[in-house]
Amino acid sequence: MQPELAAPNWTLTNTPPLWPLEFFTVALNLKMAALIDDCDSGKFGHVWDISSRRRNDDGKVPRRELRVFFRDGLALLQRRPLCQLTYEECLWEFIPATRGLKGTELQKHWCCGPDLIHDLDSSGLIQVERERLAERGPRASRLYSRASIIQFLKNRAIVRDPTLN
């Protein structure tokens, strides 16, 4: 006799603060073009384009890397109203008030790979606050300044908040 299988206990306590738009193609069963239009029109609330916008070797600009604030994503999935936070308040939720973020933390928060962080670094879109302390291991990741991360995200917001500079 087999023991009864327990139902999984799904929680969203460790979700990244910015969700990739591709998640919603599956979760909402919508096409990417429709989701991009929804982002541009403000339906998703707080959205950022975190792409490096660096041209590929063939001269083409890569696609946009749109990220949706997790509270707005949850509200859409649960068919509730969007959160009423400003962009500043959203940023305070996942950027520490007293320090910058390591590259590995940015990857985790933004659901992206190390190549994107490297491209943002090499193009000067985010500034290094402290170089690596070691060549390998968890301390090998650069620390990026809080101010440059906030400025980058402010510049890349798909604006819904009229108070954003």
Residue 24 lies in a domain: yes
H helical segments located in the chain: 21-27, 32-41, 70-77, 87-94, 103-110, 114-122, 146-155
What mean pLDDT is reported for the chain? 81
Encoded tokens for 6: 């327990």
pLDDT, tens digit, 9 for 90 and up, residues 138-147: 566 788 999 9
Within 10 Å of residue 129's Cβ, how many Cβ atoms? 17
Q: What is the pLDDT of residue 7?
A: 43
Residue 5 lies in a domain: no
pLDDT of residue 9 exceeding 50, the answer is no
Q: What is the pLDDT of residue 135?
A: 60
Q: How far is CA 163 from the centre of its chain?
A: 21
Q: What is the pLDDT of residue 24?
A: 87
Which range marks the domain in which residue 120 is found? 18-158
pLDDT of residue 162 exceeding 80, the answer is no
pLDDT of residue 25 exceeding 50, the answer is yes
Q: How many domains does the chain have?
A: 1
The region of weakest confidence among 15-24, 46-55, 57-66, 98-107 is: 57-66
Within 10 Å of residue 47's Cβ, how many Cβ atoms? 26
Residue 164 lies in a domain: no
pLDDT, tens digit, 9 for 90 and up, residues 73-121: 888 888 889 888 888 888 888 888 888 898 888 999 999 988 899 899 9
Q: What is the pLDDT of residue 16?
A: 87
Residue 23 lies in a domain: yes
The 10 Å CB-count burial string (b at 16+, else e) for 1-39 is eeeeeeeeeeeeeeebbbbbbebbeeeeeeeeeebbebb
Residue 12 lies in a domain: no
pTM of the model: 0.80
- In one-letter notation, the amino acid at residue 51 is S
Dist CA 146 CA 161 (whole Å): 21
Q: What is the pLDDT of residue 149?
A: 95
Dist CA 138 CA 128 (whole Å): 17
- β-bridge partners, 18: 69
pLDDT of residue 161 exceeding 90, the answer is no
